[in-house]
Amino acid sequence: MNSNNLTLVLGAQWGDEGKGKLVDMLSENFDIAVRATGGANAGHTVKVMIKGEEKKFIFHLIPSGILYEDTTCVIGNGVVLHIPTLFQEIESLQLQGIEAVSRIKISGRATILFDFHKLSDAKQENSKGERKVGTTKRGIGPCYADKISRRGLRVCDLADWDLFKKRYKELLSWHERCFEYVHEGAEEELLLLEKMRKPLLAMMEDTAYYLNTKLSEGKNVLLEGANASILDIDHGTYPYVTSSNPSIGGAFTGTGMHPAYLGENIGVIKAYMSRVGEGPFPTELKDDLGGKIREAGGEYGSTTGRPRRCGWFDLPLTKYAIMINGFTSLNLTKLDVLGCIDEIKIAEKYFLDGNEINTLPSRVEDMARLEVKWRTFKGWLEDISECKNWENLPDAAKNYVLYLEEKLSCPIKYIGVGPRRDQMIQRD
Ligand code: GDP
Ligand code: IMO
Ligand code: MG
């Protein structure tokens, strides 16, 4: 053991930092790519050139590593699995000439997310009024609630169809009573699941055993984080968070991999901040500048299409994420997007009631009233999207990166300058 052949890629902010792109880029050198947490609330965009044509893939459940034909993809026990979404992804890959079924392994312990979880999610959100979380309405919260309350159904339960149907109906009627609705599509959902049962069971595996065996044989495993650290149910801006642990803990509980295999642990950070959904955002730009960043960065949700809220880079928040995850290096993404701004700001420090604080306040109400000390940088006002190495970057861009690196006390090893695989500067 202790062979350092496990690498983690985790989001360090509020999601959509560009994890999919890094995972896709790194997967070439990995035997196995694995998802540990979340469900189809994740949207990971990968842009690649295939036969001279730019192709865009958005993955919600399958790890982005699937684009390399020698990579096996694992959906771990911590994932909440909406089975029709999985098959849609498989089908759309097949349409692009990518065979996926033979390379996917799914944990029998993963919890199944049903259509009615989405209905319950919507009901719950609507009943919260102004206090709604702004979820993706993919049923994530209600499905994890079922898992934690020990009434959920898991992939392995599909083995006995009659028992499964019975338990589906019991769970559905619990939801219908609790959230006061009738799921008109229940019979249809069951019919679809019955059709998908066999091909799904063929992909089922004890993935904890599989992953640890492969790690012990020296195979390289890459974990693709979904969602992000400041959306973590424990460490994020609760209650404006998701319902799993997208930070480092979830990587292990969500797969069963032995932590001693951990080698590189890469945090993905965006050169500015974005957030979809509700919740405090100390550096949010509510003016035209926020809109300018949104347009330049294409900041619209990969899953829901919602416009993402944008703001300046937040040092205290990102430092917090680095602290809880223990990142060994960082991927700074979307530096190119700031090329359209003449004066760039960073939140350097937080103050609460006039006192500097070095952590994130646990009360969301305090988070919302933080005062920020800013630092201003001269912009580079240049297109850097074709820069291939560090030396070619304009001085102002280098200064920005070096400042972040110093303050975050973590090496920035990768710098994203565009959405494509090849638009990534690597530093030693
Ligand atoms: P993820 O959820 O963390 O995988 O990120 P998303 O895919 O939801 O959002 C990131 C978006 O930024 C996607 O549209 C990517 O194609 C794009 N992207 C990733 N890295 C870069 C970069 O360095 N520059 C630019 N301009 N776009 C990037
Ligand atoms: P990726 O993997 C951005 C946000 C939602 C909402 C909150 C709770 O693409 O980075 P949920 O549906 O999980 O109950 O919603 O969490 N959220 C994300 N925001 N990127 C994501 O994933 C997200 N996953 C969840 O917008 O605010
Ligand atoms: Mg995303």
Return the number of other C-beta atoms located less than 10 Å from residue 33's C-beta.
28
The three state secondary structure string of 176-203 is HHHHCCCCCCHHHHHHHHHHHHHHHHHH
> Mapping DSSP to helix (H, G, I), strand (E, B) and coil, where does residue 2 land?
coil
**Structural domain that includes position 139:** 111-202
75 CB-near residues (< 8 Å, 6+ apart): 34, 35, 61, 62, 63, 81, 86, 104, 105, 106, 107, 110, 207
Question: If you average pLDDT over residues 345-359, what whole number do you get?
Answer: 97
Given a cut of 90, whether residue 213 has pLDDT beyond it is yes
Closest atom of ligand 1 relative to the 415 alpha carbon = 23
Tell me the percentage of the chain whose pLDDT exceeds 90.
95
Decide: 267 and 325 in contact? Cβ < 8 Å: yes
Give residue 222 CA to ligand 1 midpoint distance, Å. 19
- In the structure, which protein residues have their CB atom closer than 6 angstroms to any atom of ligand 2? 11, 15-16, 41-44, 133-136, 138, 140-141, 226-228, 231, 242-243, 276-277, 302
- Do residues 52 and 133 share a domain? no
Q: pLDDT-derived band of residue 371, with 50, 70 and 90 as boundaries?
A: very high
Q: Is residue 26 in some structural domain?
A: yes
Q: Which ligand approaches the C-alpha of residue 299 most closely?
A: 1
- Name the strand (E) or helix (H) holding 172: helix 161-179
Examine residue 333 and state whether it is found in any structural domain, yes or no. yes
Ligand 1 proximal residues by C-beta, below 6 Å: 11, 15-21, 43-45, 47, 298, 302, 333-334, 336-337, 416-419
List the residue whose alpha carbon is closest to atom 13 of ligand 1.
45
Same domain, yes or no, for 372 and 252?
A: yes
DSSP state of 39: -
The SS3 of residue 402 is helix
**Residue from 350, 340, 347 nearest 288 by CA:** 340
State residue 2's pLDDT score.
Answer: 60
From the CA of 281, how far away is ligand 1's center (Å)?
20
Reported as a pLDDT band with limits 50, 70 and 90, residue 73 is very high
In this structure, the answer to whether residues 330 and 364 fall within a common structural domain is: yes
The answer to whether residues 91 and 214 belong to one domain is yes
194 CA → ligand 2 middle, Å = 30
| CATH number reported for the structural domain that contains residue 164 in this entry | 1.10.300.10
CATH code of 420's domain: 3.90.170.10
Residue 269 shares a structural domain with residue 341: yes
Protein residue with its CA nearest to atom 14 in ligand 1: 45
Residue 393 and residue 269 share a domain: yes
Q: Please indicate, yes or no, whether residues 97 and 36 belong to a single structural domain of this protein.
A: yes
Distance 58 CA to ligand 1 centre (A): 11
d(CA 425, CA 413): 8
Residue 400 in contact with residue 29, Cβ under 8 Å? no
Task: Provide the token pair at 402.
Answer: 């070096």
Same domain for 268 and 190, yes or no, is no
C-alpha span between 399 and 382 (Å, rounded) = 14
Instruction: Report pLDDT for 195.
Output: 98
The pLDDT tens digits for 268-283 are 999 999 999 999 999 9
Boundary (domain end) residue, out of 202, 227, 262: 202
For the question of residue 183 being annotated catalytic, the response is no
pLDDT the model gives residue 84: 98
Q: Identify the CA nearest to 254 among candidates 79, 44, 15, 72.
A: 79
Closest CA to 46 of 33, 38, 37: 33
To which residue do tokens 């989001």 refer? Answer: 11
- How many angstroms separate the alpha carbon of residue 302 from the centre of ligand 2? 10
Do residues 79 and 122 both lie within one domain?
no
401 part of a folded domain: yes
Residue 1 within a domain: no
Domain assignment present for residue 167? The answer is yes
The amino acid occupying position 156 is C
Last residue of a domain, one of 186, 202, 218: 202
Determine which one of 31, 44, 175, 235 is catalytic.
44
Which pLDDT value is given to residue 428? 81
Residues 6+ apart with CB under 8 A from 86: 61, 62, 75, 106, 200
Give the mean model confidence (pLDDT) for residues 356-373.
Answer: 96
pLDDT in tens, 214-233: 999 999 999 999 999 999 99
Closest ligand by atom to 40 CA:
2
The encoded tokens of residue 69 equal: 């034909």
Question: Is pLDDT at 46 greater than 70 in this prediction?
Answer: yes
Task: Give 241-268 pLDDT, tens digit per residue.
Answer: 999 999 999 999 999 999 999 999 999 9
Question: What beta strand segments (E) does 176-261 contain?
Answer: 204-205, 221-224
Banded pLDDT at 362 (limits 50, 70, 90): very high
Region of 358 please: left (phi>0), alpha (psi -120 to 50) or beta: alpha
Write down the pLDDT at residue 118.
Answer: 98
Q: Which atom of ligand 1 is nearest to the CA of 226?
A: 2
> What percent of the chain has pLDDT above 70?
100
The verdict on whether 342 is a catalytic residue reads no
Which pLDDT band holds residue 52 (cuts at 50, 70, 90)? confident
Residue 48: alpha-carbon gap to chain centroid? 19
d(CA 156, CA 115): 19
Residue 195 lies in a domain: yes
Q: How many domains does the chain have?
A: 2
Q: Which of 202, 222, 248 is the last residue of a domain?
A: 202
Which of 123, 241, 242 has most ligand 2 atoms within 8 Å of its beta carbon, as the pocket-test mutant? 242
For 137-195, the pLDDT digits (tens) are 999 999 999 999 999 999 999 999 999 999 999 999 999 999 999 999 999 999 999 99
Within a domain: residue 187? Answer: yes
